[in-house]
């Protein structure tokens, strides 16, 4: 087993220490080296630090406030508090990396079956890039959090990003200020079916 796979945890408390740019670059390189469907490499990574991070967080906060009055995700309202908590984590982490699916169709556009298959493949490709990045962060002694609560502020964050494609996720990166124990996992028995 690769050590970083067993060592990685979602980190929700960070020290204020900055992460050197060369270290962030190593993490980005690992993302870029991920496999992707038809080698489409459907990703763009927007690194937000300092003032840019503050702007991104302001956009997320605006989105979460708007979500109470005029929800984009009405059926997920029970998770809105969780999104506020995630915003608090994002504030602590010195680096945020927003992951954009450059081939993503804007939310709400009806998809043909072909489009849907393509979207599923691109989503898997982006997941592979994100996993490479969080494992590399672990390997380099950093903590990370993979974040999709950004969807509650989807429009506001897309406006802030001002780039082609669809915001898929964000990664919070920094030096961990906690050591959580491993979260429970479903067993082999529950998840694997051997045939033959």
Ligand X SMILES: Cc1cc2nc3c(=O)[nH]c(=O)nc-3n(C[C@H](O)[C@H](O)[C@H](O)COP(=O)(O)O)c2cc1C
Contact 15, 174 (CB under 8 A): yes
- Sort 4 into a burial class: Cβ within 10 Å, 0-12 / 13-18 / 19+: middle
- Closest to ligand X by CB, 84 or 102: 84
Q: Which is nearer to ligand X, 19 or 170 (CB)?
A: 170
SS3 per residue for 47-81: EECHHHHHHHHHHHHHHHHHHHHCCCCHHHHHHHH
Distance separating alpha carbons of residues 50 and 86, to the nearest angstrom: 18
Rg of the chain's alpha carbons, rounded to an integer? Answer: 17
Shortest distance (Å) from residue 155 CB to ligand X: 17
By the criterion CB under 6 A, which residues form the site for ligand X? 9-10, 12, 86, 145-149, 183
- Measured from the CB atom, is 101 or 193 closer to ligand X? 101
Closest CB 26 distance from ligand X, rounded Å: 20
Q: What share of the chain is helix, strand, coil (3-state, %, to 5)?
A: 55, 15, 30
**Minimum separation from the CB atom of position 158 to ligand X (A):** 17
For residue 196, the minimal CB distance to ligand X (Å) is 31
Q: Is 90 exposed, middle or buried (0-12, 13-18, 19+ CB in 10 A)?
A: buried
- Which residue number is nearest to ligand X in terms of Cβ? 149
Residue (9 or 49) nearer to ligand X, CB: 9
Q: Quote the CA–CA distance of 48 and 56 in Å, as a whole number.
A: 8
Q: Measured from the CB of residue 112, what is the shortest distance to ligand X in angstroms?
A: 25
Q: Least distance (Å) from ligand X to the CB of residue 170?
A: 8
Nearer to ligand X, 20 or 182 (CB): 182
Nearer to ligand X, 112 or 191 (CB): 191
Residue 168 has which token pair? 């898929």
């Amino acid at each position: 087993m690769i050590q970083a796979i067993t060592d990685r945890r979602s980190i929700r408390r960070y020290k204020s220490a900055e992460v050197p740019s060369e270290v962030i670059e190593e993490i980005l390189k690992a993302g870029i080296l991920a496999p992707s469907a038809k080698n489409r490499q459907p990703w763009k990574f927007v690194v937000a630090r300092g003032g840019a991070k503050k702007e991104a967080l302001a956009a997320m906060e605006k989105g979460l406030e708007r979500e109470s009055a005029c929800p984009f995700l009405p059926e997920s309202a029970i998770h809105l508090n969780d999104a506020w908590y995630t915003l608090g984590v994002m504030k602590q982490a010195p680096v945020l990396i927003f992951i954009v699916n450059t081939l993503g169709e804007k939310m709400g556009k009806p998809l043909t079956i072909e489009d849907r298959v393509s979207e599923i493949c691109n989503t898997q490709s982006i997941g592979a890039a994100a996993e490479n990045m969080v494992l590399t962060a672990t390997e380099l002694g950093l903590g990370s959090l993979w974040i999709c609560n950004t969807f509650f502020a989807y429009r506001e964050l897309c406006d802030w990003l001002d780039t082609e494609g669809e915001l898929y996720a964000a990664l919070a990166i920094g030096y961990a200020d906690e050591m959580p124990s491993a979260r429970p996992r479903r067993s082999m028995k529950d998840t694997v079916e051997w045939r033959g």
